[in-house]
Structure 1
Amino acid sequence: MPIRQHRPPSDEFVEDFLENVVPSAIPNDQFIDWHSLNDDIEKYEKQIEAITSLEDVAKEEFVEGVADALMAADETREWIDFYFELVGERGNKYSSLEGVWKFYPIQRAIDAGDREKALDLAGVLQDVGLQYIVDKGNVRDHYRGMLVGMESHARKNRQGLCFENQVGERVAEATTQLQENGYDVEYDDEYTTAYNDDTGQEKTVDFAIFEDGELAVAVEANCYKVQGSKPSEIRRSYNHVAQRMRADGVIFIWITDGQGWESMENVLAESYNDIVDVYNLYQADHHLTDDLVAEFNGS
């Protein structure tokens, strides 16, 4: 059975949820991961020094110098990745109108002593504009700027991690309160449990609370900064999970938030009607611990 003690009608739940929604889970001081960014710069210090030494040389000398560095490299792929990151490209290959350059086979060829492959790749990098970057600016500052620009991709993952941290704090608080009420409970994250049936299927949940060593509460955490089909897909999936968890005697809770919900009132209402134990961070702060304590107390 659901644990929510405060169960308003779905329209009131949606109104309360949206009035207190957080726009994003990322705090201002984590918008850019400066620590990792500076670690990346330090990681490529040798490459930065090498490419800087080719400032204001002729085109042919630049290509030769890049090829020499590739041939002498202990970790060839690191050098290839760095050169292409300087021109704003990440991945396992570079493609253009002129062709496709797959980094792994090029790396293997260079490691085997194929200087022509190194010269070819160096020529491509010169054509793309690597020499222009070296001649016209500070390579280290340019690379820092490229990493900041690439943060928009990393931020998608950081959104989820930051939200999980927020939810983890609430789960820890609820666990502590249960312990103070005399229950032998503890919590963990990223826990995988098998369903108590003959399907052999398993489910990994973001957080789990155990009582006397047995799974008692499963918590999933999702934050949506933009609207789309994902919340609706997750709602259907979690409705199924919630039913199976409850059949096994496990409480299932979904904590979700983000401005992506603001135009998805119908999906939010369906989530509440189906799963019931749905909270945003504000609602979790005001109800989650009390709901869990009441459930454990048999209220």
Structure 2
Amino acid sequence: MPIRQHRPPTDEFVEDFIEHAVPSAIPNDRFIDWDSIDDDVDKYEKQIEAIAGLENATESEFVEGVADALMAADDTREWIDFYFELVGERGNKYSSLEGVWKFYPVQRAIDGGDREEALDLAGVLQNVGLQYIVDEGNVRDHYRGMLVGMESHARKNRQGLCFEDEVEKRVAEVTDRLGEDGYDVEYDDEYTTAYDDDTGQEKTVDFAIFEDGDLAVAFEANCYKVQGSKPSEIRRSYNHVAQRMRNDGVVFVWITDGQGWESMENVLAESYNDIVDVYNLHQADEHLAADLVDDFDDE
């Protein structure tokens, strides 16, 4: 059975959820991962000094200098990655109208002593604008700026990590309250449990509370800053998980939040109707502890 004691009508739940939804799970001080950026800058200090040494070289001197560095590199791929990050490209290859340069075969050829391959790649980098970066600014500052720009991609993963941190605070607080009430409880993250049936299937949940060593409550945590199809897919999946968990005597709780829900009210309503034990952070603060305590008391 669902644990929610405060169960308003669906429209009231949706209105309350949207009113108190957080815009994003990333706090200001984690918007940019400066420690990681500084680590990357330090990691490429040798490459930065080498490429800066080619400032004001002729085009041919620049290409020769980059090729020389590639031929002498202890880790050729590290140098290739750095050069392309300077021009704003990350991945396993570079492609353009003129062709495709797959980094692993290029690295293998250069490591095998193929200077023509090194010169070809150096020529591509010069043509893309690497020499312009070296001649027109501070390479170290430019690289740091490129890493800041690439943070927009990193923030997609950070959104989920930051939200999980917020949910873990609530799970820890609930576990402490249950402990204070005399229950032998503890919690863990990334816990995998097998369903109590003949399928042999397992489910890994973001957080789990155990009572007397047995799984009692499973939590999933998701934050959506923008709308999309994923919440609908997750809702269907979690509805199935919730039913199977309850069949095994385990409470299933979905804590979700984010301004993306503002344009997905229908999906939110379906989630509440199907799963019931759905909370955003505000609602978890208001009701989750009491709901779980009541559920434990009823056992």
- Residues 1-299 of structure 1 aligned to structure 2 (within 5 Å): 1-298=1-298
For 1:180 and 1:58, the matched residues in 2 are separated by 73
Matching residue's letter, 1:193 = T
For 1:28 and 1:14, the matched residues in 2 are separated by 27
Matching residue's letter, 2:121 = L
TM-score (norm 1): 0.99
Give the drift of 1:115: 1.1
Moved over 2 A (4+): none
Q: How many residues align?
A: 299
State the Cα RMSD in Å.
0.8
For 2:286 and 2:53, the matched residues in 1 are separated by 60
> What is the aligned-residue identity percentage?
84
For 2:228 and 2:221, the matched residues in 1 are separated by 17
Cα deviation digits, residues 162-185 of structure 1 (max 9, x gap): 000000000000001111111111
For 2:122 and 2:37, the matched residues in 1 are separated by 26
Give the drift of 1:109: 1.0
For 2:293 and 2:129, the matched residues in 1 are separated by 62
Secondary structure in structure 2 of the residue aligned to 1:297: helix
Give the drift of 1:253: 0.1
Matching residue's letter, 1:88 = G
For 1:115 and 1:244, the matched residues in 2 are separated by 61
Matching residue's letter, 1:172 = A
Secondary structure in structure 1 of the residue aligned to 2:298: coil
Matching residue's letter, 1:297 = D
For 1:3 and 1:165, the matched residues in 2 are separated by 23
For 2:169 and 2:272, the matched residues in 1 are separated by 23
Matching residue's letter, 1:145 = G
Give the drift of 1:241: 0.4
Q: For structure 2, which runs of at least 5 residues remain unmatched after alignment?
A: none
Give the drift of 1:117: 0.9
Cα deviation digits, residues 250-281 of structure 1 (max 9, x gap): 10000000000001111111100000000000
Secondary structure in structure 2 of the residue aligned to 1:65: helix
Secondary structure in structure 2 of the residue aligned to 1:288: helix
For 2:15 and 2:127, the matched residues in 1 are separated by 56
Give the drift of 1:47: 0.4
TM-score (norm 2): 0.99
For 1:194 and 1:132, the matched residues in 2 are separated by 57
For 2:66 and 2:204, the matched residues in 1 are separated by 47
Secondary structure in structure 1 of the residue aligned to 2:147: helix
Give the drift of 1:246: 0.4
Matching residue's letter, 2:285 = D
Matching residue's letter, 1:252 = F
